[in-house]
Structure 1
Amino acid sequence: MPKLIIVPKNKEAEIALDYDKVESEHITEWNVSNEEFEKLWIEGVFSLINKVSGTNIDDYEDEHLNDLNLISHSLSELKKKQYSFRKMIEMFELAIYYKTSIHFYF
């Protein structure tokens, strides 16, 4: 099963995503490889996001963040660290830019 991080580009896409009916042009998707996931996990990226946002991102269930304040705060904390994956920061920036959410499908 692929590991995906998805940011809807608008509110309509955000709703469609909840029903698994979103069209690919209405989302930004990062297909996270197993190697990338492992590195993100080891570097503590998910742990930091969980701590800041009160989420439970792990390898066993889906999770999402739709509170823009928590997304912004998580982004701020991610930028303070020297993580290998700029892509994670970009995904959080997109969620803020689109004023939507970020979804983790693991």
Structure 2
Amino acid sequence: MLNVAFKLCQTSANQSLFGKTQFIFLYVCSIDFHVKKSSFFIVSVEFAQAEIQMVPSNTITLENPDDMASMRKLLDALEDNDDVQHVWYNWENEDEYEG
């Protein structure tokens, strides 16, 4: 499923709502991206980041250290490749890998 992630930063228009600088993550269907983004500009909300991203509908947990090493090696190779622009994955416990 392709979703859109908006990261909004606080402006004077929404200061009374938050009270201090915070971020909101808003997920919408990719078809609605430009419509939703435009509606926030109308009320003077400023974006720190607004982009289309892949958001996994399910995640996987790798238990085997060899599987973790293989996955880390694959991700490193993809991220180092100049022809690859974005890498999305659904590996949930990446921070547990100690390789």
Fold match by TM threshold 0.5 = no
Query: Which is greater in Rg?
Result: 2
The structure with more strand, counted as a fraction of residues: 2
> Structure 2 length normalisation: TM-score?
0.29
> Structure 1 length normalisation: TM-score?
0.28
Q: Which one scores higher on RCO, CA 8 angstroms, separation ≥ 6?
A: 1
The structure with more helix, counted as a fraction of residues: 1
